[in-house]
Amino acid sequence: MRITDAKVIVTSPGRNFVTLKITTSDGVTGIGDATLNGRELAVASYLRDHVCPLLIGRDPARIEDTWQYLYRGAYWRRGPVTMTAIAAVDTALWDIKGKVAGLPVYQLLGGRSRDGVTVYGHANGETIPEVLDEVAKYVDLGYRAVRVQCGVPGLDATYGVSGDKMFYEPADARLPSEATWSTERYLRVVPELFAAVRDRFGYDLHVLHDIHHRLTPIEAAGLGARLQEYRPFWLEDPVPAELQDGFRLIRQHTTTPIAVGEVFNSIWDCEQLIREQLIDYIRATVVHAGGITHLRRIFDLAALHHVRTGSHGATDLSPVCMSAALHLDIAVPNFGIQEYMRHTEATDEVFPHGYHFADGYLHPSEEPGLGVEIDERLAARYPYEPAYLPVNRLMDGSMHNW
What are the catalytic residues? 159, 212
CA 208 to CA 190: how far, in whole Å?
A: 11
Quick note: the x/- pattern for ligand GCO over 46-85, rule CB under 6 A, is ----------------------------------------
Please identify, among the stretches 6-14, 141-149, 209-217, 316-324, the one whose residues bind Mg ion according to the rule CB under 5 A: 209-217
38 vs 222, beta carbon nearer ligand GCO: 38
In 163-318 the beta strands, taken as DSSP E runs, fall at 178-181, 206-210, 234-236, 258-260, 281-282, 308-309
CA distance to 137, 266, 288, 290, 342, per residue, from 87 (Å): 34, 11, 7, 4, 22
Q: What, of Mg ion, ligand GCO, none, does residue 244 touch, CB below 5 to 8 Å by kind?
A: none
Compute the half-sphere exposure of residue 269: CA atoms within 13 Å on the CB side of its CA: 26
User: How far apart, in whole angstroms, are the C-alpha atoms of residue 203 and residue 195?
Assistant: 11
Residues ≥6 apart with Cβ < 8 Å to 113: 330, 331, 332, 333, 335
Which of 210, 280, 329, 373 is the binder for Mg ion (CB under 5 A)? Answer: 210
Q: Beta-carbon neighbour count of residue 148 at 10 Å?
A: 26
- Does 314 bind ligand GCO (CB under 6 A)? Our answer is yes
| 162 is an interface residue for ligand GCO by CB under 6 A | no
Smallest distance from ligand GCO to CB 338, Å: 11
Which of the listed partners (ligand GCO, Mg ion, none) does 339 bind, with a CB threshold of 5 to 8 Å by partner kind? Answer: ligand GCO
φ, ψ of residue 394 in degrees (nearest 5): -70, 170
- 81 vs 201: CA distance, rounded Å: 41
Q: Does 262 bind ligand GCO (CB under 6 A)?
A: yes
Q: What is the dihedral of CA 302, 288, 20, 61, to 10 degrees?
A: -20
Q: Give least dist CB 365 to ligand GCO, A.
A: 22
CA-CA distance, 28 to 17, in Å (whole number)? 22
When asked if residue 238 is in the footprint of ligand GCO (CB under 6 A), the reply is no
Burial of 301 (0-12, 13-18, 19+ CB in 10 A): middle
When asked if residue 15 is in the footprint of ligand GCO (CB under 6 A), the reply is no
Say whether residue 170 binds ligand GCO (CB under 6 A). yes
- From 316, 329, 367, 373, residue interacting with ligand GCO (rule: CB under 6 A): 316
Backbone torsions φ then ψ of 226, nearest 5 degrees? -70, -30
What, of ligand GCO, Mg ion, none, does residue 37 touch, CB below 5 to 8 Å by kind?
Answer: ligand GCO
Site residues for ligand GCO, window 125-154 (CB under 6 A)? none
Q: Using the rule CB under 6 A, which residue among 33, 95, 219, 339 binds ligand GCO?
A: 339
Least Å from the CB of residue 210 to Mg ion? 4
Where does this chain touch Mg ion (CB under 5 A) — which range of 34-42, 205-213, 245-253, 284-292? 205-213
Binding residue for ligand GCO (CB under 6 A) from 33, 40, 95, 210? 210
User: Binding segment for ligand GCO among 187-195, 218-226, 312-320, 374-382 (CB under 6 A)?
Assistant: 312-320
Based on the shown chain and the rule CB under 6 A, indicate whether residue 37 belongs to the binding site for ligand GCO. yes
Cα 112 to Cα 328: distance, rounded to the nearest angstrom: 9
Minimum CB–partner distance for residue 262 and ligand GCO (Å): 5
Backbone φ, ψ for residue 400 (5° rounding): -130, 180
How far is the C-alpha of 353 from the C-alpha of 372, rounded, in Å?
4
Interface residues with ligand GCO (CB under 6 A)? 37, 170, 210, 212, 262, 312, 314, 316, 339, 389
Interface residues with Mg ion (CB under 5 A)? 210
